[in-house]
């Protein structure tokens, strides 16, 4: 990585390095040399002290040994009688305080003489004592390992030398070593200690370590000494770093250590090191200060130039004049000024051409917006697609229809966004291939649960080598509906007129038949005197005539004629009502109430209940509670609604006795412009288009013969269209249920709103 840094940093850094490196090198070198020589000196000093102590201890051991040799000489030279030996030993013990006990053993290790005298000890067998074995086997003076005396509790040593007959041994109390090393104090923290040849402490300032026979053989300095190396070694004891100097006693192989915590041992070295460090730091500080001051003077004009050029770069072309400075800097400043002028001129020219370009752009943008506005404002649905049917552009109407944002539709297949255009894809391909427009009229499509009709025009794009097409959709649903309704109404009026005319013609002969049959029955009745009299005149009586007629079934025929006549009269009367304007009185009614009343009627209808299980149908109401009351004939409208409910119930066959819970009639009311819209929808099997177009025709029924007259919907049609000037239509698709829509105008034919006061309500009549 290449370091990119400022001239100032580089110069400062170099300057500081040059100034401080020699100081640092000289400082650390002298520190190193000084530290080493001082440490060596301290180590040497401590070692000498240890050696002096060792020779002191050596001398301490010499003296009792000399004493034992003297006794040996006396005993072996037989200068004293055996009987006086114990007393002599007692005297020696009294005069020389080093021994706790002196004893003489024979060759078998039996204690023969002992001072001080102890009955329990005299005569004891000491042959398994290590000191006895060592002395007897070596034939030389021996020092035993140290141990803690049971009598004195002090570290003790057995000194033993061989006699001609047995050995002499003394228990040497080493307690005095403790007092010897207690005098050694170096700088308040240094001290001395002595261990025996096994590494067990026999003298230490902490006397408990001695009495507990602490073995310190694992301490580094002792390990070194036990391996025969005298010298000064750093070591760690109980977590404290120390400097230990060890000296070895040649004969006893004891170790004398002078120990000092390193922290205190090298305190003077640390002091000097601190001074050198402080000096180096000061030199460093001074070097940095000088570097900063001198560099500032050199670099300031350059920094100013940098700042000015930065301003020029930012767009301010005013370049200040410079006072005479360093020659190089002046030249640089002059060059910059010339450059600034050139840049300024060039930029002005550039700005001019930019402005022209921007104007042209704006015009272009306006034109594009205008075209877009035209396309968006069109009431038609416009989508332009590529050769594969992917959407390239659309207008506002298309966006509204798709209910999707442009971002989601862009580039998608047109059939994914408008699934109902799938059937037009063939046309699209044909149009692209033939490069001719294709037009389809009144294409049905189900959009949000409603059948809409569109005129579809597909025309290929021809200009600029663009391949693709534009799909234009115009919603003609309303027009189709109106056309359909006009045809329907026209047809119904002619059919209705025909039916009514026929009915009128039939009515007269029917009246004769009915009247004839009624009169015949009346004239056969025994209750009328005229009949009785007439019978008697014919030399018979009325009862015989009745008996005869009864016997021949004449009465049955007559009643049959009467019933058939009555039924025919009813049908005829309904047929007549097709053309007769409603004579029932109009009142202000609440449509929602009328719907509820019709529901109640349907629920109590025996036929509906029994055959179609009306109570098992779920009724869903979406009433508009804000609806105004409207003027209409309550009886007529209820009849219409009941017909529609019955039709719906009959359309949904019941499965078994339990009833199908999914059977549902949805009732909806709402305001639609100047009309009130009533919807009755079932979820039955629906019907195909050819049936739907004929359902309002009189006597048209899909039910089995005898189940309906085929007049219910026709009557409803005339009530709505003739009596109330409204419309009634049906929408259906097989498998998707049927919806009847009744629209009733709120205002009357003359365009005046019905005045509630003008028509007194039923209560007032």
List contacts with other proteins (CB under 8 A): 4-6, 8-9, 12-13, 109, 119-120, 123-130, 145, 148, 150, 153, 197-200, 208, 211-213, 215, 217-218
Residue 52's beta-bridge partner residues? none
Q: How far is the CB of 132 from other proteins (least distance, A)?
A: 9
- Residue 71 or 126 having the CB closest to other proteins: 126
Per-residue CA distances from 171 to 82, 168, 253 (Å): 22, 10, 18
Residues 23, 27, 30, 33: is their CA dihedral positive or negative? Answer: negative
Beta carbons of 637 and 596 less than 8 angstroms apart: no
Question: Rounded to whole angstroms, how far apart are CA atoms 717 and 697?
Answer: 9
Q: How far is the CB of 382 from other proteins (least distance, A)?
A: 59
Q: How far is the CB of 232 from other proteins (least distance, A)?
A: 24
Q: How far is the CB of 303 from other proteins (least distance, A)?
A: 9
Residue 24 CB contacts under 8 Å (≥ 6 apart), including other chains: 280, 284
> Which SS3 state, helix, strand or coil, does residue 166 take?
strand
Question: Rounded to whole angstroms, how far apart are CA atoms 4 and 9?
Answer: 10
- Residue 122 or 601 having the CB closest to other proteins: 122
- Residue 219 or 676 having the CB closest to other proteins: 219
Beta carbons of 726 and 655 less than 8 angstroms apart: no
Beta carbons of 417 and 437 less than 8 angstroms apart: no
- Residue 197 or 491 having the CB closest to other proteins: 197
For 585-651, give the DSSP string: PPEEE-HHHHHHHHHHHHHH-HHHHHHH-GGGSEEEEE--TTPPPEEE-HHHHHHHHHHHHHHHHHH
Length of the chain: 765
Q: How far is the CB of 153 from other proteins (least distance, A)?
A: 7
- Residue 9 or 543 having the CB closest to other proteins: 9
What φ, ψ does residue 695 adopt, rounded to 5°? -65, -25
Q: How far is the CB of 111 from other proteins (least distance, A)?
A: 9
Q: How far is the CB of 274 from other proteins (least distance, A)?
A: 20
Residues 268, 273, 278, 279: is their CA dihedral positive or negative? Answer: positive
The continuous run of DSSP H or E covering 103 comes out as strand 99-105
- Residue 219 or 500 having the CB closest to other proteins: 219
Q: How far is the CB of 327 from other proteins (least distance, A)?
A: 26
- Describe the strand order of the beta sheet including 381-385 as a list of residue ranges: 391-394, 381-385, 469-475, 450-460, 438-447
- Residue 24 or 343 having the CB closest to other proteins: 24
- Residue 127 or 520 having the CB closest to other proteins: 127
- Residue 291 or 421 having the CB closest to other proteins: 291
Q: How far is the CB of 76 from other proteins (least distance, A)?
A: 24
Per-residue CA distances from 166 to 75, 184, 450, 645 (Å): 11, 41, 137, 144
Q: How far is the CB of 229 from other proteins (least distance, A)?
A: 18
Residue 258's beta-bridge partner residues? 192, 245
Q: How far is the CB of 244 from other proteins (least distance, A)?
A: 19
Tokens of 97: 């305080």
- Residue 120 or 750 having the CB closest to other proteins: 120
Q: How far is the CB of 370 from other proteins (least distance, A)?
A: 53
Beta carbons of 594 and 641 less than 8 angstroms apart: yes
Q: How far is the CB of 103 from other proteins (least distance, A)?
A: 13
Tokens of 55: 């020779």
> Which SS3 state, helix, strand or coil, does residue 744 take?
strand
Angle at 555 between CA 551 and CA 558, to 5 degrees: 145
Beta carbons of 576 and 507 less than 8 angstroms apart: yes
- Residue 123 or 411 having the CB closest to other proteins: 123
Q: How far is the CB of 26 from other proteins (least distance, A)?
A: 24
As to burial, measured by CB atoms within 10 angstroms (0-12 exposed, 13-18 middle, 19+ buried), residue 197 is middle
Beta carbons of 602 and 638 less than 8 angstroms apart: no
- Describe the strand order of the beta sheet including 675-682 as a list of residue ranges: 618-622, 664-672, 675-682, 738-745, 727-732
- Residue 5 or 448 having the CB closest to other proteins: 5
Whether the ω angle into residue 116 lies within 30 degrees of 0, i.e. cis, is yes
Could you list the beta-strand ranges (E) of 462-580: 469-475
- Residue 13 or 528 having the CB closest to other proteins: 13
Angle at 365 between CA 362 and CA 370, to 5 degrees: 125
Residue 469's beta-bridge partner residues? 385, 460
- Residue 175 or 712 having the CB closest to other proteins: 175
- Residue 55 or 280 having the CB closest to other proteins: 280
Q: How far is the CB of 219 from other proteins (least distance, A)?
A: 12
> Which SS3 state, helix, strand or coil, does residue 276 take?
helix
- Residue 201 or 510 having the CB closest to other proteins: 201
- Per-residue DSSP letter, 413: B
Q: How far is the CB of 254 from other proteins (least distance, A)?
A: 13
């Amino acid at each position: 990585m290449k370091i990119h840094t400022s001239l100032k940093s580089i110069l400062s850094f170099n300057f500081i390095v040059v100034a401080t490196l020699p100081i640092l090198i000289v400082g650390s070198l002298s520190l190193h040399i000084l530290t080493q020589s001082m440490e060596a000196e301290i180590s040497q000093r401590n070692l000498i002290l240890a050696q002096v102590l060792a020779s002191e201890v050596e001398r301490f051991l010499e003296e009792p040994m000399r004493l034992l040799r003297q006794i040996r000489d006396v005993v072996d030279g037989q200068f004293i009688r055996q009987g006086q030996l114990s007393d002599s030993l007692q005297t020696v013990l009294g005069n020389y305080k080093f021994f706790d006990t002196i004893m003489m053993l024979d060759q078998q290790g039996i204690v023969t003489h002992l001072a001080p005298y102890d009955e329990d000890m005299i005569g004891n067998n000491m042959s398994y004592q290590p000191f006895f074995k060592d002395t007897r086997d070596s034939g030389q003076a021996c020092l035993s390992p140290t141990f803690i005396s049971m009598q004195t509790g002090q570290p003790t040593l057995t000194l033993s030398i061989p006699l001609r007959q047995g050995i002499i041994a003394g228990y040497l109390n080493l307690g005095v070593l403790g007092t010897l090393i207690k005098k050694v104090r170096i700088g308040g923290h240094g001290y001395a200690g002595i261990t025996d040849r096994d590494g067990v402490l026999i003298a230490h300032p902490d006397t408990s370590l001695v009495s507990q026979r602490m073995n310190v053989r694992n301490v580094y300095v002792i390990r070194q000494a036990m391996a025969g190396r005298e010298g000064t070694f750093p070591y760690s004891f109980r977590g404290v770093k120390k400097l230990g100097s060890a000296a070895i006693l040649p004969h006893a192989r004891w170790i004398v250590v002078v120990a000092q915590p390193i922290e205190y041992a090298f305190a003077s070295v640390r002091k000097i090191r601190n001074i050198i460090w402080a000096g180096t730091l000061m030199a460093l500080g001074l070097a940095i200060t000088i570097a900063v001051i001198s560099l500032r003077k050199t670099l300031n004009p350059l920094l100013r130039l940098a700042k000015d050029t930065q301003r020029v770069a930012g767009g301010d072309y005013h370049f200040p004049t410079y006072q005479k400075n360093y020659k190089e800097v002046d030249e640089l400043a002059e060059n910059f000024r010339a450059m600034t002028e050139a840049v300024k001129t060039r930029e002005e020219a550039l700005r001019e051409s930019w402005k022209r370009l921007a104007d042209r752009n704006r015009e272009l943008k306006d034109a594009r917006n205008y075209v877009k506005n035209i396309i968006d404002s069109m009431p038609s649905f416009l989508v332009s697609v590529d050769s594969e049917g992917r959407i390239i552009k659309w207008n506002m109407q298309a966006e509204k229809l798709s209910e999707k944002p442009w971002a989601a539709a862009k580039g998608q297949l047109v059939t994914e966004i408008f699934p109902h255009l799938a059937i037009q894809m063939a046309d699209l391909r044909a149009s692209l291939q033939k490069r001719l427009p294709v037009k389809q009229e009144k294409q049905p499509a189900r959009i949000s649960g409603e059948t809409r009709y569109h005129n579809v025009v597909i025309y290929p794009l021809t200009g600029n080598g663009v391949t693709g097409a534009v799909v234009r959709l115009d919603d003609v649903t309303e027009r189709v509906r109106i056309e359909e309704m006009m045809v329907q109404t026209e047809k119904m009026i002619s059919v209705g007129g025909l039916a009514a005319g026929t009915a009128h013609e039939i009515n007269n002969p029917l009246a004769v038949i009915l009247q004839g049959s009624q009169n015949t029955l009346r004239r056969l009745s025994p209750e009328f005197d005229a009949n009785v009299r007439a019978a008697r005149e014919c030399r018979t009586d009325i009862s015989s005539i009745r008996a005869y007629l009864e016997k021949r079934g004449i009465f049955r025929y007559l009643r049959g004629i009467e019933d058939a006549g009555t039924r025919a009269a009813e049908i005829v009367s309904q047929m007549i009502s097709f053309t007769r304007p409603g004579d029932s009185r109009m009142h202000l009614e609440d449509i929602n109430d009328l719907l509820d009343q019709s529901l109640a009627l349907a629920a109590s209808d025996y036929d509906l209940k029994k055959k179609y299980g009306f109570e098992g149908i779920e009724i869903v109401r979406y009433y508009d509670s804000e609806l105004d009351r409207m003027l209409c004939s309550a009886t007529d409208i209820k009849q219409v609604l009941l017909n529609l409910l019955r039709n719906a119930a009959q359309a949904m066959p019941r499965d078994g006795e339990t009833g199908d819970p999914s059977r549902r009639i949805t009732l909806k009311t709402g305001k639609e412009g100047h009309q009130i819209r009533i919807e009755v929808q079932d979820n039955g099997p629906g019907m195909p288009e050819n049936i739907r177009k004929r359902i309002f025709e009189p006597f048209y029924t899909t039910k089995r013969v005898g189940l309906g007259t085929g007049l219910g919907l026709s009557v409803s049609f005339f009530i709505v269209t003739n009596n109330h000037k409204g419309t009634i239509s049906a929408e259906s698709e097989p498998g998707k249920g049927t919806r009847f829509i009744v629209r009733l105008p709120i205002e009357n034919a003359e365009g005046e709103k019905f005045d509630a006061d003008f028509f007194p309500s039923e209560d007032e009549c």
